[in-house]
Chain A
Amino acid sequence: GQSLEQPSEVTAVEGAIVQINCTYQTSGFYGLSWYQQHDGGAPTFLSYNALDGLEETGRFSSFLSRSDSYGYLLLQELQMKDSASYFCAVLIYNQGGKLIFGQGTELSVKP
């Protein structure tokens, strides 16, 4: 089967840095994605790592270690608007490609 683990909640203050970890056990692993979802909204794509290493996009960075089945999302210079749910999702490919989402991490940014 497939399983992903990420913390259920994280709290941080404005301007801080927060890291959301994701570990996975899957077969047919192709890559790791991160999505943000605000209350009442749809998931929004943040990043995708197919290879080991760090990908940086503005204030957000994502890391993948395929040998450790581990990745993280790093959010810098936190802003109130970053309060949302963050999902890691593994892309698996086996007679078709699909995303399997983790349970999500609810990030609360305090002033």
Chain B
Amino acid sequence: DTEVTQTPKHLVMGMTNKKSLKCEQHMGHRAMYWYKQKAKKPPELMFVYSYEKLSINESVPSRFSPECPNSSLLNLHLHALQPEDSALYLCASSQGEKGGEQYFGPGTRLTVT
């Protein structure tokens, strides 16, 4: 099973809302990632969790708050977002941080109004 699942698939939220994105993998991977991708652009790394601990935060604004409740789950809590935060948010996982083989979920298409 090489599947990473993400919910919801689509999300529309106002600038004052609070919402969460969820990601799950059951491959026993120990590293999990959040990426942001704008149209016709490459994925941009936001956060890396390794063994359930935050190892990299790419200077992401505090309105994005990651959480790793256990080795299979990754959440991204959203609060007071801006319209420019509208993008595809991708979750990925890999066996460890030193592996170039990452498995991506289908993403959450986020629109901030």
Query: Which residues does A use to contact B, with CB under 8 Å?
Result: 30-33, 41-45, 48-50, 87, 89, 91, 93, 95-104
B56 contacts which of A41, A42, A87, A98 (Cβ < 8 Å)?
A98
| Given A41-B106, A45-B102, A96-B55: A103 touches B42 (CB 8 Å cut-off) | yes
| Number of residues of chain B lying within 8 A (CB) of chain A | 27
| Given A43-B43, A87-B42: A99 touches B104 (CB 8 Å cut-off) | no
Q: How far is the CA of A31 from the CA of B92 in the complex (A)?
A: 18
Chain A nearest CB, measured from B32 CB (Å): 12
Chain B nearest CB, measured from A23 CB (Å): 16
| Given A43-B104, A98-B56, A99-B102: A93 touches B97 (CB 8 Å cut-off) | yes
Chain A nearest CB, measured from B66 CB (Å): 14
Tell me the interface secondary structure of chain B in the complex. Answer: loop
- Pair count A-B, CB < 8 A: 69
CB–CB B41/A42 < 8 A: no
Per CB-CB distance, the 7 closest pairs between chain A and chain B, nearest first, are: A97-B97, A101-B42, A48-B100, A33-B100, A96-B55, A42-B104, A91-B100
| Given A42-B106, A42-B107: A30 touches B43 (CB 8 Å cut-off) | no
